[in-house]
């Protein structure tokens, strides 16, 4: 069996990945697979900088608007579904461009993830209720008893991952660390050079602030109100998304709009910094460069 073939264009939020990918995709006649953990959700459009309908009409986009809230995606689920699209595109003679900033999803695609059974909905609801009643510290103490290996690897305040580990154990009867130690699901090999778009730090800082304000002018607060009306648990990834979380604080009366904007811009900048660090450490073979350099290289 031949290797699956794709090209990955990754980088921090606001670096201009989508615009560069659009230029390359239109020139070479290929498609785009979105590698963004928030663009998967229908309704989260403005705050996730989701590709516009015009862009999707010009270039086919996959792995965007995949599910309705309160559904949740995982890296393993994304990787499995992305492989289906890559194979279909390869069969049509196209090598799709994977574009985004969610490095863990790319890692799952390239290296595989343990094939863990789905969580049971009632288990997730019970763990969420426990979190609301007793707090994350109580969940962490429970995880220390159920899965001490995983507890040692996680920070005591990492609510989302602690809950995930507890849900896996309660749903399957096996600890998350045990699932991961058993190895990864066998997958077809994939040939996928990785390019990382770099932007000078101060330029990116200014760009992120300008984009935050532009999103607000485009009606982002209406989107935040819609999200709030869904009454999702605070632990849902959508409720913790950068920018949304700070604007929700304002909607709930915790801070002024001015403060929420300032907090949101700061959080976005910190998130971008973490992304830069992740790609530096986790993708050692990636080719880094600015837009002009990568555009020339990607045409090959």
* pLDDT tens digits along 165-184: 999 999 999 998 888 777 55
Q: Which of 2, 11, 27, 91 is nearest to 296 (CA)?
A: 27
Is residue 185 very low, low, confident or very high in pLDDT (cuts 50, 70, 90)?
Answer: low
The reported pLDDT for the residue numbered 1 is 53
Fold of 201-276: Helix Hairpins (1.10.287)
Task: Show me where the domains of the chain are located.
Answer: 4-115+185-199+277-298, 121-181, 201-276
Q: Is the domain covering 121-181 a CATH 1.10.20.140 domain?
A: yes
- Predicted TM-score of the model (pTM): 0.82
The mean pLDDT of 268-289, rounded to a whole number, is 94
Angle of helix 159-172 versus helix 121-134 axis, rounded to 10: 140
Is residue 186 very low, low, confident or very high in pLDDT (cuts 50, 70, 90)?
Answer: low
Could you check whether the bond before residue 70 is cis, i.e. omega within 30 degrees of 0?
yes
71 to 42, 52, 109, 112, 238: CA distances (angstroms): 10, 23, 21, 22, 10
Is residue 117 very low, low, confident or very high in pLDDT (cuts 50, 70, 90)?
Answer: confident
| Coil vs helix vs strand at 201 | helix
Say whether 201-276 and 121-181 share the same fold: no
Per-chain mean pLDDT for the chain: 92
183 to 58, 106, 145, 147, 177: CA distances (angstroms): 40, 18, 23, 17, 10
| pLDDT tops 70 at residue 2 | no
Q: Are 118 and 151 in contact (CB under 8 A)?
A: no
Tell me: the pLDDT tens digits for 16-58? 999 999 999 999 999 999 999 999 999 999 999 999 999 999 9
**Which token pair is 1?**
């069996």
Angle of helix 220-229 versus helix 244-251 axis, rounded to 10: 70
The mean pLDDT of 184-195, rounded to a whole number, is 78
Q: In what order do the strands lie in the sheet with 97-100?
A: 61-62, 32-35, 97-100, 7-11, 194-197, 287-289
Q: Is the domain covering 4-115+185-199+277-298 a CATH 3.30.470.10 domain?
A: no
Scanning the chain, the segments in alpha helix (DSSP H) are 17-28, 53-58, 75-91, 103-111, 121-134, 136-146, 148-153, 159-172, 176-181, 201-217, 220-229, 244-251, 257-282, 291-298
């Amino acid at each position: 069996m031949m290797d699956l073939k794709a090209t990955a264009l990754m980088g921090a939020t606001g670096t201009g990945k989508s615009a560069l990918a659009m230029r390359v995709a239109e020139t070479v006649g290929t498609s785009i697979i979105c590698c963004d953990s928030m663009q998967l959700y229908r309704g989260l459009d403005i705050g996730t900088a989701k590709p516009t309908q015009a862009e999707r009409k010009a270039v086919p986009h996959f792995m965007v608007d995949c599910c309705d809230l309160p559904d949740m995606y995982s890296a393993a689920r994304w990787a499995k579904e992305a492989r289906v699209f890559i194979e279909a595109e390869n069969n049509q003679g196209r090598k799709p461009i994977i574009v985004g900033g969610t490095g863990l999803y790319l890692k799952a695609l390239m290296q595989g993830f343990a094939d863990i059974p789905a969580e049971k909905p009632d288990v997730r609801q019970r763990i969420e209720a426990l979190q609301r009643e007793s707090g994350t510290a109580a969940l962490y103490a429970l995880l220390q008893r159920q899965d001490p290996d995983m507890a040692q690897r996680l920070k005591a305040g990492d609510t989302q991952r602690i809950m995930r580990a507890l849900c896996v154990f309660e749903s399957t009867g096996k600890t998350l660390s045990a699932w991961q130690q058993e190895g990864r699901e066998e997958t077809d090999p994939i040939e996928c050079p990785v390019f990382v778009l770099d932007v000078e730090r101060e330029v990116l800082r200014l760009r992120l602030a300008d984009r935050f304000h532009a999103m607000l002018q485009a009606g982002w607060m209406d989107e935040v109100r819609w999200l709030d009306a869904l009454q999702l648990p605070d632990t849902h990834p959508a409720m913790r998304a950068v920018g949304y979380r700070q604007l929700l604080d304002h909607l709930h009366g915790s801070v002024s709009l001015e403060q929420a904007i300032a907090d949101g811009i700061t959080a976005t900048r910190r998130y971008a910094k973490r992304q830069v660090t992740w790609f530096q450490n986790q993708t050692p073979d990636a080719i880094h460069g600015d837009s002009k350099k990568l555009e020339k290289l990607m045409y090959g």
